[in-house]
Structure formats: structure tokens, C-alpha cells
Structure 1
Amino acid sequence: MSTSDAVRTPGADAPLTLTEPPPRTLGLRDALGLWGNLGISLLLPVAAVFVVLPGRPLGVTVAAIVVGAVIGSVLLGLVAAAGARERVPGMVLLRGLLGRRTSWLPTAFNLVQCIGWATFEIVIIAEAASRVLDAPRWPFVLAAGVLATAMALRPLGVVRVLARYAVWAALIAVGYLYVQVLAEPLPPLSEGGATSFWTAADIVIALPVSWLPLAADYTRHVRSGRAAFTGTAVGYGLATVVMFVLGVLALAAYGSAGLDVIDALLMVPLGAVAVLVLVSVELDEAFANVYSTAVSAQNVVARLDRRVLAVLVGTLATLLALTFDIAAYEPFLFLIGAVFVPLAGVLIVAYWLTPSGSWNTSDTAPARPVFLLPWAAGFIAYQLTLPTFFPGPGSGWTAWWSARQADLGIDPGNGWSASLIGLTVAVALTLPVVLAGRRNARVAR
């Protein structure tokens, strides 16, 4: 099938291998529906406890959510637009930045995070369903894992269903929960996980940023870069604000914390029905992570069948979900930000300053290890601002970075935005490299 045939076939689905052309059958409505649906996730209200600024007016927490959502969704939209323009998945897009073999490094990170997120989603689905129906959790883990894996076998068909039907059911359920929660008194919040406005914003930034390496897996099928940017940034950004704020309001109204946000929503009249709708919709996040793990692996071996990979990934995520500890959730969010926020800055600057048609994503894309330096510098800046934490044996990692903070006289409670500092450092170091490359190219001509 030629590329033009792939564009014209309305019912075409994603190619089975990386060697086949992707059909370009999705428009702005599909992109808005997909990313809006992906943003309507029970993970966000559950994570709301980490963004609450205790003892501060509720409006300050909401402002931090909005700021974090705007920053994260704009970054996500820029990467999504690049994927639509180049018609390649996310990890293949990075070949133009780092070269084919060097792109295997972020691919490895992405495989780990995709499996982690798929596991998180299955856990949240099973936990919520077991609470609503007062039943053991493990059957829901198995059911969610099987359904998410089945959805990953025909991804574009699922995207069309999500965009046209599922998103509306989710919006009705969320709207109903808002009406009920806002009918309750909203006393000041005295407990929460954020130590400053910017640490709260960092948690919110981490959610759209976690999708950065995956965005092009879907927007390569969108017909234009403008539609991809608008659909992704607006769809996911608005949904992020709506779901985080819902979680904060539930905490204020019912005095819950952590996963108990789900219990708070169940206290709403007919809340069980609304939560069950959201549990059903939650499957799209698990499906997306299973599918993107498979597509990411194809960056290393292009001829692997994504269906076989999806079954293997779905099985692994389901097994992990049976024993998963949700207490590791917050550190995982910060780690995602530390790795992918600086990489996003490097990619966005390099891509959008590179002349159109010059981004090389082929199998022969030459290595460009120079771009590893700003990425690494941004990661280091993030750690020095806010060291990521790992429970148990991993605490030595945190202690080492805390010692480096002390060496440099950085206050551990500085309250700065680690995401913005890491992003700024990465962008500042990428700019001269890109501009020098453009200057050398002009001289060579």
C-alpha cells in the first residue's frame, strides 16, 4: 500500500510494523476527543492530594493546577504537532534529534514508563471498581488487563470510538460529580502534599509530560500539524484542569486523602454510577500505554508485529498490577518530570528551528550525541532543585543529590519549579548548538 492509499482509506488502522506507512485518517475532532478522553482519568483526582497547598486559599491550589496544565499541555502539543508533520511515532521522531541508535536510550526510558503507567491505570481501574461493587480487586485487574490489551490490537478504531462516544459519557459523569461536590460546603484544606505553588505545579506538569514520548504514536495519523497541536494541547489541558480541580474539591468537601478521593466521590448521590462510567473510560489510558510500549519497541526492531508486542506488554502490566504498591506513585511522577521535561525542551527547540524537510528519522539517521549534553544538564538541574525520591534501597539516590544541594548551598525547601528550571537549562544549552549547526550548514552551501 502506498502512502497516498493509506491516507485515503477511511477504515485503515495503524500499521503492524514500522516499515508500513501510517494512515492519516484523524482530524481535529478526533484529536480533541482522544486527548480529552485521555485526560479524563481517575489518576488525576487521586493525585490531587499531592497538589493541595495546605493552609492556603483554595484558589491558590487551583491557580497552580491551571499554570501546570498550560505549561505541560503546550509542550505536549508541540511534540504532537511534530509527530503529525513527520508521520512517525514518538521514539522514531527522536532519531532526528539523537540519531537512530542513540535514540534507543530514551526508548528504554519510555518502555519503563509506559509499562509503569499501564500498571498504574489497571490498578486504579481495579481499585475503583472493587470499591464501587464491594468485591475483591484481583478479578478487575485481570479484566482491565485483558480489555486494554484487546483494545491495543486495533488502536485507530478505538480512537474513533473514544473521540465520538466515550468522551461524551465521561463528560456527563464528570459534570454530575461537579454539581454534587459543589453543593457541599468547601472548608479550607489543612492537609496536602505540596510545599509551594511551584511544587504543586510540577505535579500537574508531570501528567501531560508523561505523554510526550507517546504523543506522536497517535498524531502521526492526524492530517495536519495544526490540528494535532490544537487537539492535543486543548483536549488534554482542559481535561487536566477539570480532573485535578474535581479531586481538590472532593478533598475539601469530604476531607479525604490519597486514594480515598475515590471513596469521597462514592459519597455523592449516585456517585457509584458516575465512578463506574469513569472506570470504564479509564481503560483508554491503559490501552494507550500498552499500545505505545509496543510501538516504542519497534524503534529498535522495526519489523516486530505490534500485536504480539501488545499481548506481551499487557500480560506483564497485568501481573505487575496484581502486586503493585500505589504508595510509589508520587516519586514516579517526579522521576518522569526529571527525565522527560528536559528532553522535551531539547526536542522542541531542535525540531522547530530545523528547516522543514531536514529532520532525518530514517534507519541511517546519524548519531548526534551532542544533544545528550543539554538533556543531561536539564536532568541534573531538576535533581538539584528537587531530588527525586525512591523508597527503600533507592533512598541513597536521594541522599546523594541532597548532599550535592548542600555543597552548592541550595536550600532543600527552596519551593522552586524543578520542571521549569530543568526545561530552561535544557533549552538554553540547546539553542547555541542548533544555531551553530544552521550557521555551518549555510557556510557549507
Structure 2
Amino acid sequence: MSTSDVRTGAPAGDAPLTLTEAPAPVLGLRDAFGLWANLGVSLLLPVAAVFVVLPGRPLSTTLGAIVVGAVVGATLLGLGAAAGARERVPTMVLLRGLLGRHASALPTAINLVQCIGWATFEIVIIAEAASRVLDAPRWPFVLAAGVLATAMALRPLGVARVLARYAIWAALAALVYLFVNVLAEPLPPLTEGAAMSFWTAADIVIALPVSWFPLVADYTRHVRSGRAAFTGAAAGYGLATIVMFTLGVVALAAYGSAGFDVIDALLAVPLGALAVLVLVSVELDEAFANVYSTAVSAQNIVARADRRVLAVVVGAVATLLALTFDIAAYEPFLFLIGAVFVPLVGVFVVAYHSTPRGAWDTSDTAPARPVFLLPWAAGFLAYQLTLPTYFSGPGAGWTAWWGARQAELGIDPANGWSASLVGLGVAVLLTALVRLPAMLRARRS
């Protein structure tokens, strides 16, 4: 029996090679849950925990902000996942139904920059953590992570099944071990942290699940039902987000007084180096997902391009950037791109779920709908006016410009609001107003 699908040329049961071929719905709820739980198990989250800590407040308040942020962000992620399963197309193609075939190139271009940046960032995180654990040079780990992530992107659904059935248990064992040891330490009140309010803490957490929205349907187009896709993505990533941020917060509480950062705190646990190495190996799935999704997103523009060739090119570029580029300086730009997608999620969710089933046009002839650019832009403006993306050095002018606009409008820079929720709220409200006439006509007919 052949190991390839004769019709598509793709490995049997795996993703099609081009956009012109239909995806096979071969993933179930367990696969979807396992994949998204693994993607949520990232060292980036506990490292970012310092930004959700509310200094001088009870630990329970910080943990409450984590739960609220994870529920909001994961629900939005799940809604995008369900749409991908119903329409059987990647996320950037899904956006044709919102903006039209040609205008969907705009979010596609932004997402290509984002995915390559995050793939590079994940390779750097993997290499940095491994080099610290093993006290070795970083560059061999950069090369190894880049090669492995690229190889994984060649067989994405096979990798998804392995992650769901095996890798999740290794990650769970490492997390349980770290939690048991960290919680055995005294947990004094946290006196240092970057969060200004409950909602700014929740805002950081919301941003992580939402950052995966531009990628989510690349995988859930292979899930058998919208319900399984929603539950798997929302529950899997949401629970992992809560666990990983909580681990970072309690590690800071247990070891922060000694001047440790989160990674040093976890390494201070007996046999913590082994547990961190397990999490480092699991981190490869984030790099793989970004490499694969860069290739799939590009197919929205070049539909007949082979995703394997695109993935190899993307993996090589991300690895080269990880070897030569100061990705830390690029991080604020990645968060700015995330701020672009937050209101787009709100626009999409309202527009998609107010459109009759079967009427969402993702074809090559999908008509332009420029009206939806307005709530998207308004949501982005509201986001930046609430909390401008922070740049230092050459990009400081961006932050200063938005700070001046805040002053003109009488907006307190320390307002304590969630920029994500404000941006989402504006985008949702304006999209609902745009869709209202069509919804009323549909109800009368």
C-alpha cells in the first residue's frame, strides 16, 4: 500500500501540500486538546509572569487575573478554531470571508512577519535555556532547534498526534514535579512586579492565547467538528496558560527574594535542570508551529506553492536570524503586531457568527469588504490610546507619540485598563453596527 495520498501527493493522513487541495478531517477532540495544551506549555509564559504580578497585593489577586485573562483569551481562540474546522481552510484564507480575497493579503503579510519573528524568538528561548542548563555555548542549540522545528513542520499532523498522545505526558510530569517542589517552599507576599492593576495583569495573559489566533485554523481545519475544535483549543491552551503563568508566579514568590529570575528559580529545584530540559524539548512545538504556519499563511498568496519548500526556507531564515539577530530588541515589535491582531479577532468573531452558515466566502473570488477595515483600525487605535506599545531606543518615538495623544484626550497613562478588552470592545461594537442592517434584513426575510 502506498504511504502517500495519490490525489494530493502528501503523506497519508497529513496536511495537503498546496492550498488547492482539500484538508482531511483526521483529528479528534483528544488530538486538538493535546496539541493546544502542548502549545500552551511554553517557557515564555513563566518568564513573562513578572509582568502579571501585582506587587503588594495578595497572591490570590494575581492568580485571579491569570484565570480571567486565560478564560477570555482562550474563548476567543476557540471561536477561531471552530470556524477553521467548519470552513476547512487556514486562518489567513478564512479572513477572505471578512476582508475579501485581495484585502486578506494585508493581515497575511503582517502574520508572515509575526510568525518568522516568533519562530526566531522560540529558537532563541530553547537555545538559551538549554545552554544555561548544560553550561554550554548557545549556537549548537540554535542549529539543533532550527533543524528539528523545520523537520517537524514537514509532517505537521503526524507531529500533532505525537504531541497529543506522548509529549503532553512528559510535559505534565515535569510540571507536576516543579510545582510540588516550588510549593514546598514558603511563599511570601510578592513586593516586586510590573502590573499596575488587575486588568493590566489580565491583559498580558489575554495576549498570549489571542496571539495564536492568526495560526489556529491552520490546524483545526483538520479537526472533525467545530465543537471539538473549540473545546480542544480553548480548554487545552486555556488550562496550559493558567498552569504556566501560575508556575512562574509561585516560583518568583518562592525564590525571588534571593534575586533569582524564573529560570534560575526552576533550576534551583532539586533535579530542576532535568525538568527544565523536558520543558525545553517540549518548547520545540512552538517553533514548529510558527514555521509551519508561516508556510501555510504564504499559501494564501501563492496557493500552488509546496508547503514543504516554504517551511524549509522559513526554518532556515529563522535559524539564521536566531544566530545573528538580537531578537530581544525585536520583542516590542512582536507585541505591536499582537496589538494589531487583537481587534481583528473581535471583528472576525462578530462578522463570522452573524453570517448565515455556508455563506462565508473564502474562494478566490471573495469580494472586497473594506467596511470591516474601519472597526479593525478603530480597535487598534483604542488599544494604543489605552496602553501604547512600549519601545525604547530608536522606537521610543512611537510610545512618545501615543503618550502625547493620551495627554490631548485626557487619558491617564496609568489608567489601569485592559488594552486588549478596550480594543476588542470597540472593534466588536463597531462591527455589530456594520452588520446590523444585514442581520435585520435576514430576520425579515
Same fold (TM over 0.5): yes
The residue that corresponds to 2:275 in the other structure is 274
The residue that corresponds to 1:316 in the other structure is 317
TM-score scaled by structure 1? 0.95
Amino acid at match of 2:234: A
The residue that corresponds to 1:377 in the other structure is 378
Local SS of the residue matching 1:107 = helix
* TM superposition shift of 1:257: 10
Q: Deviations over 1:198-226 (max 9, x none)?
A: 11111111110110010000000000000
How far apart, CA to CA, are the structure 2 residues paired with 1:356 and 1:258? Answer: 55
Q: Deviations over 1:258-307 (max 9, x none)?
A: 99311110110110110111111110000000000000000011011111
How far apart, CA to CA, are the structure 1 residues paired with 2:111 and 2:258? Answer: 30
How far apart, CA to CA, are the structure 2 residues paired with 1:166 and 1:332? Answer: 31
The residue that corresponds to 1:46 in the other structure is 47
Local SS of the residue matching 1:413 = coil
- Asked if 2 retains the 8 angstrom alpha-carbon contact of 1:69 and 1:204, the reply is yes
The answer to whether the aligner puts 1:120 opposite 2:139 as a matched pair is: no
Correspondence list, 1:240-319, <5 A: 240-255=241-256, 260-319=261-320
* TM superposition shift of 1:328: 4.2
Q: Deviations over 1:35-81 (max 9, x none)?
A: 00100111111111111111111111111111110000000000000
Q: Deviations over 1:114-166 (max 9, x none)?
A: 11111111111101100110101111011000000000011000000000000
Correspondence list, 1:146-225, <5 A: 146-225=147-226
The answer to whether the aligner puts 1:30 opposite 2:23 as a matched pair is: no
Q: Cα RMSD (Å) of the superposition?
A: 2.0
* TM superposition shift of 1:439: 3.8
Local SS of the residue matching 1:251 = helix
Q: Deviations over 1:351-387 (max 9, x none)?
A: 0110000000000000000000000000000000001
How far apart, CA to CA, are the structure 2 residues paired with 1:245 and 1:65? Answer: 8
* TM superposition shift of 1:434: 1.3
- Asked if 2 retains the 8 angstrom alpha-carbon contact of 1:50 and 1:203, the reply is yes
- Asked if 1 retains the 8 angstrom alpha-carbon contact of 2:120 and 2:327, the reply is no
Mean CA deviation greater in 391-400 or 238-247: 391-400
* TM superposition shift of 1:401: 0.7
Local SS of the residue matching 1:322 = helix
Count matched residues: 440
- Asked if 2 retains the 8 angstrom alpha-carbon contact of 1:49 and 1:257, the reply is no
- Asked if 2 retains the 8 angstrom alpha-carbon contact of 1:17 and 1:302, the reply is yes
Correspondence list, 1:342-421, <5 A: 342-421=343-422
Q: Deviations over 1:315-342 (max 9, x none)?
A: 1111121244464476356424421110
- Asked if 1 retains the 8 angstrom alpha-carbon contact of 2:379 and 2:427, the reply is yes
- Asked if 2 retains the 8 angstrom alpha-carbon contact of 1:6 and 1:24, the reply is no
The residue that corresponds to 1:71 in the other structure is 72
Amino acid at match of 1:308: V
Local SS of the residue matching 2:214 = coil
- Asked if 2 retains the 8 angstrom alpha-carbon contact of 1:152 and 1:290, the reply is yes
- Asked if 2 retains the 8 angstrom alpha-carbon contact of 1:145 and 1:314, the reply is yes
How far apart, CA to CA, are the structure 2 residues paired with 1:343 and 1:439? Answer: 23
The residue that corresponds to 1:18 in the other structure is 19
* TM superposition shift of 1:390: 2.0
Note closer, same or farther for the CA distance 1:10–1:146 as it changes in structure 2 (3 Å cut).
Answer: closer
The residue that corresponds to 2:232 in the other structure is 231
How far apart, CA to CA, are the structure 1 residues paired with 2:384 and 2:258? Answer: 27
The residue that corresponds to 1:86 in the other structure is 87
Return 5+ residue gaps in structure 1 as ranges.
Answer: none
How far apart, CA to CA, are the structure 1 residues paired with 2:421 and 2:263? Answer: 31
How far apart, CA to CA, are the structure 1 residues paired with 2:125 and 2:369? Answer: 40
The residue that corresponds to 1:436 in the other structure is 437
How far apart, CA to CA, are the structure 1 residues paired with 2:258 and 2:357? Answer: 49
Amino acid at match of 2:389: T
How far apart, CA to CA, are the structure 2 residues paired with 1:256 and 1:418? Answer: 31
Q: Deviations over 1:137-196 (max 9, x none)?
A: 111011000000000011000000000000010000001000000001111112112111
TM-score scaled by structure 2? 0.95
How far apart, CA to CA, are the structure 2 residues paired with 1:393 and 1:330? Answer: 14
How far apart, CA to CA, are the structure 2 residues paired with 1:320 and 1:436? Answer: 48
How far apart, CA to CA, are the structure 1 residues paired with 2:292 and 2:339? Answer: 24
Amino acid at match of 2:420: S
How far apart, CA to CA, are the structure 2 residues paired with 1:259 and 1:330? Answer: 22
How far apart, CA to CA, are the structure 1 residues paired with 2:330 and 2:182? Answer: 25
Q: Deviations over 1:381-409 (max 9, x none)?
A: 00000011222211111111111101100
Amino acid at match of 2:59: L
Note closer, same or farther for the CA distance 1:442–1:241 as it changes in structure 2 (3 Å cut).
Answer: closer
How far apart, CA to CA, are the structure 2 residues paired with 1:275 and 1:117? Answer: 20
Mean CA deviation greater in 98-107 or 251-260: 251-260
- Asked if 2 retains the 8 angstrom alpha-carbon contact of 1:53 and 1:60, the reply is yes
How far apart, CA to CA, are the structure 2 residues paired with 1:325 and 1:306? Answer: 28
Mean CA deviation greater in 222-231 or 304-313: 304-313
How far apart, CA to CA, are the structure 2 residues paired with 1:310 and 1:256? Answer: 44
Amino acid at match of 1:187: P
- Asked if 1 retains the 8 angstrom alpha-carbon contact of 2:110 and 2:337, the reply is no
* TM superposition shift of 1:109: 1.1
- Asked if 2 retains the 8 angstrom alpha-carbon contact of 1:205 and 1:337, the reply is no
Local SS of the residue matching 1:244 = helix
The residue that corresponds to 1:107 in the other structure is 108
How far apart, CA to CA, are the structure 1 residues paired with 2:112 and 2:260? Answer: 26
Return 5+ residue gaps in structure 2 as ranges.
Answer: none
The residue that corresponds to 2:145 in the other structure is 144
